């Protein structure tokens, strides 16, 4: 008995020629970028599927490109990926985090805003982006922090630009993007850090 796999937002309709929208193609493209970053597609497969996704005209042409990358209901073999068009919660234009003499932790599945403002003093901050739902190709993190230890955890395919960050009496430890994973998200750090430490580390991709 053949089991039909449905991809959320890309179910086949009664009309075999239902046209795909730009949003449909964007959802599939994001799934492919996450899959290659996780090591479930190699670069050659990624390029082939990406070309097919960008030129697909119907939903029937898009669905086969990701059916082996999402979980079949009731199975435990595949990993369910968050779709770009269906985030855990609506993406905010600006998310502001404020804390003094405490701690801040964001991890697991959470929706990245377009801009994140960090307003913290004398506390520990952990921003884990490895399970986050991406809302755009770029995330701007504006820091105004003093006396803080800020740790940023990235998944493969995420690149950091810290040229806009002013740091005084602080330590910046940013690991370089050295693998061949295509860039899926650029993180731009701006603002200022005083008397603190910033650690940017990358999640080791599965072998």
Question: Which pLDDT tens digit goes with each residue over 35-77?
Answer: 777 778 888 888 888 889 888 888 888 888 888 876 433 333 3
CA 172 to CA 167: how far, in whole Å?
A: 8
| pLDDT tens per residue across span 139-152 | 999 999 999 999 99
CA 104 to CA 196: how far, in whole Å?
A: 15
Query: Which tops the pLDDT comparison, 71 or 20?
Result: 20
pTM to 2 decimal places = 0.58
CA 9 to CA 150: how far, in whole Å?
A: 37
% of the chain residues with pLDDT over 70: 77
Residue 122 region by backbone torsions, left for phi larger than 0, else alpha for psi between -120 and 50, else beta: left
Torsion of CA 25, 56, 181, 175, to 10 degrees: -20
């Amino acid at each position: 008995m053949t089991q039909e796999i449905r991809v959320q937002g890309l179910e086949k309709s009664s009309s075999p020629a239902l046209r795909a929208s730009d949003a449909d193609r964007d959802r599939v493209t994001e799934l492919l970028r996450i899959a290659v970053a996780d090591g479930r597609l190699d670069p050659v497969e990624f390029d082939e599927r990406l070309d097919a996704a960008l030129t697909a005209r119907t939903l029937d042409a898009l669905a086969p490109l990701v059916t082996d990358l999402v979980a079949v209901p009731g199975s435990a073999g595949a990993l369910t990926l968050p779709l770009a068009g269906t985030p855990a919660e609506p993406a905010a234009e600006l998310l502001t985090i404020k804390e003094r003499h405490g701690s801040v932790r964001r991890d697991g599945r959470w929706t990245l805003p377009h801009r994140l403002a960090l307003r913290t003093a004398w506390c520990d901050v952990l921003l884990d982006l490895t399970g986050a739902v991406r809302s755009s190709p770029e995330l701007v993190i504006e820091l105004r922090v003093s006396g803080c230890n800020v740790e940023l955890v990235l998944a493969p395919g995420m690149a950091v630009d810290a040229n806009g960050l002013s740091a005084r009496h602080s330590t910046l430890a940013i690991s370089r993007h050295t693998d061949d994973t295509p860039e899926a998200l650029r993180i731009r750090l701006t603002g200022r850090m005083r008397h603190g430490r910033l650690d940017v580390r990358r999640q080791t991709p599965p072998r």
